[in-house]
Amino acid sequence: MRILFVGDVVGNAGQEMIATYLPQLKQKYHPQVTIVNGENATRGRGIDQIVYKHLLQQGADVVSMGNHTWDNPAIENFIQDAPRLIRPANFSAGQVPGQGFTLVKVNTIEVAVINLQGRVFMNPSDDPFAVAEDLLTRIKKRTKVIIVDFHAETTSEKEAFAWCFDGQVSAVLGTHTHVQTNDARILPDGTAFLSDVGMTGPYDGILGMQRGNVIKRFINQMPTRFEVAEDGRKTLGACVIELNDTTGKATKIQAVQINPDHPFIS
C-alpha cells in the first residue's frame, strides 16, 4: 500500500498548488490514501467548509489540522458533519467538537489516520503519548495500518514520539514548522518517520507569511499581524510512504518537494 501525505497548506497559494499538483502527484505515485494537512488553508489561519470540500475534490481522502484548528470560527458549524476532517485527538477529551482520527477503507483493509499535537512551545493540550496509547488500544483491533500526523514545534518531541511508538504505527509524520527536513527514514521496528513534511504555499515568504511583518516582529518585538504572502513563487512539501498492508510496517519513505529549485518531474 502507498500513502501520500501533503504538508501544511497555507492560504490561496497553497490551494493553488494543491489544484495544480495533487492530481499529478496521484497520477505519478498511485497512492491508495492521500492525506493533506489543511490547518492553514483558509487565509493562513484555520479552515472553512468551502476549502475543506475543495481539498477533498482535488483528491484528499483525509484533511488533518493542528494548533490553528479553531482560528476560523466557521469550522464549528461543520466539523461534526465532516467525517474526513480530523483535529488533534489530544484536545480536551469530550469538551471540543470533531474527531481525532478517522478510518479510510481500502478494499478490505482500513487505514487509520490519527492527528495529535505536541506540547513543547505549543498551546496547552492533553498528553499526546497517553492519548495515543489509548487510541491504539482501540484502533489496533481493527487495523495495523496507522498513520500519525504529529503537529509539533520541536524535532526532539517528534523524534521521541516516533521512537516511543516504533512498530506500533506505520508512520509518524511531523507537521507545523513548515520547513521540510532531511531525515526521512524507517525506524528499526518498521515505523516511517519524517520530522517535518514541509508546507504547501508561498515559497518566498517566511513560513508562508509576508516577510516584512515577520522581520519587524523580530527586530522590535512589537505585536504584528501576519498575512499570507500570496504573491510570488510557490512550493509544495509532501512525502510518499510504502508499507505492508498485512503487518502495517513501512518499507519506504520518500520526501517530495516541488518549488522553483525542485520542479515537478512526472
Active site (catalytic) residues? 68
- Inter-CA distances, 76 with 11, 46, 69, 170, Å: 19, 11, 10, 30
In sequence order, the 6+-apart residues with CB closer than 8 A to the CB of 66 are 8, 37, 39, 88, 115, 117, 149, 151, 175, 176
- Do residues 61 and 35 make contact, with C-beta atoms less than 8 angstroms apart? yes
Query: Grid coordinates in use for 162?
Result: 516516533
Tell me how long the chain is: 266
What is the Cα–Cα distance from 118 to 153, expressed in whole angstroms?
7
Query: Grid coordinates in use for 28?
Result: 505519478
- Do residues 216 and 261 make contact, with C-beta atoms less than 8 angstroms apart? no
Query: Which amino acid is it at 34?
Result: T
Strand runs (DSSP E) across the chain, as ranges? 2-6, 33-37, 62-64, 85-86, 101-106, 109-117, 145-151, 171-175, 185-186, 192-194, 200-202, 234-243, 250-258
- Do residues 63 and 34 make contact, with C-beta atoms less than 8 angstroms apart? no
User: DSSP string spanning 225-252?
Assistant: ---B--SS-EEEEEEEEEE-TTT--EEE
Of the candidates 100, 105, 234, 254, which has an alpha carbon nearest to the alpha carbon of residue 183? Answer: 254
